């Protein structure tokens, strides 16, 4: 049984199940989901807690199985917590978890509540025998990241929970957008900044000046989210994320490779559809999935062959720059070159047209990157 994170508290009020699986890479929400389950277990009389951390192949799964079924001297009901940081229990662990799920279904869950904490899982892992067994025996809670679009509303809800709010109308939306820009990609720090506002100011309305003075710039950026922003045509956000990646010490080579991969994929998909291939098939063949699939569908009509050819030429130049090979018509600094390449792709994706001084004659004389 699957339950969304925002449904978990209401679900727990309806009654406690014997097994919960929480999986995701958002530390704040994983922690909050675990805390909610632990609190519900304590309220139901599960007074003793045992924690098992699967740190590697040497973990003794027999100890877990024996310990869960052993009688406690201190409490008739217990909470057993199993943490698998890698998300890979291995062959022995897979078999042990399937036996454990059978034990829960066979009555263990009446005396023992089990909480399994996992990182973000791919589709193959979620379809594995051990995860399917756990999911069938209890409740699984998938923790999805809060994306940038939903972040202002999430901040507003958290402020409301502590009796605070921003101004109504456009001024308040500007405040929330500023807040979101400062904490994007770092939900745990966002939570701490919200708590700070609760300590600094009384309940009621917060002004933009109060938020600006209090909230630190704790945003953390992901290189793949950066390329999504580029393809979405979010020019200002993409440049801000690029600056953040540089400040965080991300390798310029990795940022370029990720951006160049999208440019090459766009060209391949464009060529395939021009040859009569259906767009969905061309996207699948080029391993374009999820969010990027929709972005590609939107931006491909805005990127004629001449623009894509110029982008390939520019990516070739930028590839040399990030590896230390200068070019007379491009900035010597790799991050300035990446900024130029970012603008060359993001602006057409945003529908910005007009003269583009970023592709210079010398660039056009180079051979494009291999597709």
For position 307, which CATH number holds?
A: 1.20.272.10
Tell me what the pLDDT averaged over the chain comes to.
Answer: 87
Q: Is the pLDDT of residue 162 over 90?
A: yes
The band of 291, judged by pLDDT with boundaries at 50, 70 and 90, is confident
- Give the pLDDT band (50/70/90) at residue 60: confident
Specify the pLDDT at position 106.
Answer: 78
Residue 67 lies in a domain: yes
- Per-residue pLDDT, averaged over 216-235, amounts to 87
Residues 66 and 117 in one domain: yes
Query: Would you state the pLDDT for residue 288?
Result: 87
**Does a structural domain hold residue 93?**
yes
Domain range for 167 is: 151-214
Residue 352 has pLDDT above 70, yes or no: no
Question: Could you write out the DSSP letters of every residue in 174-192?
Answer: HHHHHHHHHHTT-HHHHHH
pLDDT for 65: 77
Note the pLDDT tens digit of each residue in 112-148. 899 999 999 888 899 999 999 999 999 999 998 888 8
| Residues 76, 109 within the same domain | yes
Show which of 195, 214, 233 is a domain's final residue: 214
Q: Is pLDDT above 80 for 305?
A: yes
Give dist(CA 304, CA 104) in Å, integer: 58
The residue with greater pLDDT, 77 or 35, is 35
Q: Based on the fold, state whether residues 75 and 92 are members of the same structural domain.
A: yes
Among residues 214, 247, 268, which one ends one of the domains?
214
Task: List pLDDT tens digits, range 180-210.
Answer: 988 888 888 899 999 999 999 999 999 999 9
- Residue 308 CB contacts under 8 Å (≥ 6 apart), including other chains: 263, 266, 267, 270
- Residue 366's pLDDT is what? 39
Last residue of one domain, picked from the residues 98, 120, 143: 143
**Confidence label for 316 from pLDDT (cuts 50, 70 and 90):** very high
**Angle, vertex CA 163, rays to CA 161 and CA 166, nearest 5:** 100
The domain spanning residue 189 has which CATH number? 1.10.8.60
- Claim to verify: residue 112 and residue 204 sit in the same structural domain: no
Q: What is the CATH number of the domain that holds 41?
A: 3.40.50.300
Domain count, the chain: 3
Let me know if residue 227 belongs to a domain: yes
Q: What mean pLDDT do residues 281-288 have? A: 89
In a domain, 34, yes or no: yes
Q: Indicate whether 136 and 27 sit together in one domain.
A: yes
300 CB-near residues (< 8 Å, 6+ apart): 266, 269, 270, 273, 279
Q: What local confidence, expressed as pLDDT, does residue 358 receive? A: 42
Nearest-5° angle of CA 63, CA 134, CA 88? 65
Residues 266 and 322 in one domain: yes
Q: For residue range 63-81, what is the model confidence (pLDDT) as tens digits? A: 887 766 665 445 568 899 9
| 210 in the same domain as 159 | yes
pLDDT confidence of residue 166:
94
- Mean pLDDT is lowest, of 101-105, 108-112, 118-122, 344-348, for 108-112
> How many helical (H) and strand (E) elements, i.e. helices and strands, does the chain have?
18, 8
Q: What is the pLDDT of residue 109?
A: 63
- What is the arithmetic mean of pLDDT over 3-21? 91
pTM over 0.75: no
Binning pLDDT at 50, 70 and 90, where does residue 176 land? very high
Q: Are 341 and 369 in contact, with CB atoms under 8 Å apart?
A: no
Residue 282 scores a pLDDT above 80: yes
User: Same domain for 269 and 191?
Assistant: no
Give the whole-number percent of the chain exceeding pLDDT 70.
92
Backbone angles phi, psi at 155, to 5 degrees: -65, -45
Question: Would you state the pLDDT for residue 76?
Answer: 67
369 within some domain = no
pLDDT of residue 367: 40
Does residue 352 lie within any of the structural domains? yes
Query: For residue 258, how far is the Cα from the chain centroid?
Result: 16
pLDDT above 90 covers a percentage of the chain that reads: 58
Residue 59 is predicted with a pLDDT of: 85
371 located within any domain: no
pLDDT attached to residue 128: 93
Same domain for 250 and 122, yes or no, is: no
On whether both 185 and 253 belong to a single domain, the answer is no
Q: Are residues 61 and 161 in the same domain?
A: no
């Amino acid at each position: 049984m699957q339950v969304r994170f925002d449904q978990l508290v209401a679900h727990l009020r309806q009654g406690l199940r014997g097994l919960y699986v929480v999986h995701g890479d958002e530390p704040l929400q994983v922690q909050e989901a675990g805390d909610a389950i632990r609190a519900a277990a304590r309220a139901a009389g599960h007074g003793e807690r045992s924690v098992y951390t699967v740190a590697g192949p040497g973990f003794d799964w027999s100890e877990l199985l024996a310990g869960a079924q052993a009688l406690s001297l201190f409490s008739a009901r217990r909470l057993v917590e199993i943490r698998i940081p890698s998300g890979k229990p291995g062959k022995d662990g897979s078999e042990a978890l399937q036996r454990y799920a059978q034990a829960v279904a066979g009555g263990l869950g009446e005396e023992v509540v089990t909480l399994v904490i996992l990182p973000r899982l791919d589709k193959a892992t979620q379809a594995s025998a051990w995860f399917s067994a756990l999911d069938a025996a209890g409740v699984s809670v998938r923790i999805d990241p809060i994306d940038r679009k939903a972040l202002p509303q999430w901040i507003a809800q958290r402020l409301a929970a502590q009796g605070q709010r921003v101004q109504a109308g456009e001024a308040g939306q500007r405040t929330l957008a500023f807040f979101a820009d400062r904490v994007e990609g770092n939900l745990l720090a966002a939570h701490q900044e919200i708590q700070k506002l609760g300590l600094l100011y009384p309940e009621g309305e917060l002004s933009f000046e109060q938020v600006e003075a209090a909230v630190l710039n704790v945003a953390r950026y992901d290189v793949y989210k950066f390329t999504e922003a580029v393809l979405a045509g979010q020019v200002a956000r993409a440049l801000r994320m690029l600056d953040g990646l540089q400040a965080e010490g991300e390798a310029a080579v990795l940022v370029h490779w990720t951006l160049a991969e999208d440019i090459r994929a766009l060209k391949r998909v464009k060529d395939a559809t021009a040859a009569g291939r259906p767009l969905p098939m061309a996207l699948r063949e080029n391993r374009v999935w999820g969010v990027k699939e929709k972005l590609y569908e939107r931006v491909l009509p805005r990127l004629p062959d001449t623009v894509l050819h110029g982008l390939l030429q520019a990516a070739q130049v930028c590839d040399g720059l990030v590896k230390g090979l200068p070019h007379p018509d491009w900035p010597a600094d790799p991050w300035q070159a990446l900024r130029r390449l970012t603008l060359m792709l993001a602006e057409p994706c945003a529908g910005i047209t007009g003269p583009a001084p970023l592709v210079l004659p010398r660039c056009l004389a180079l051979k494009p990157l291999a597709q």
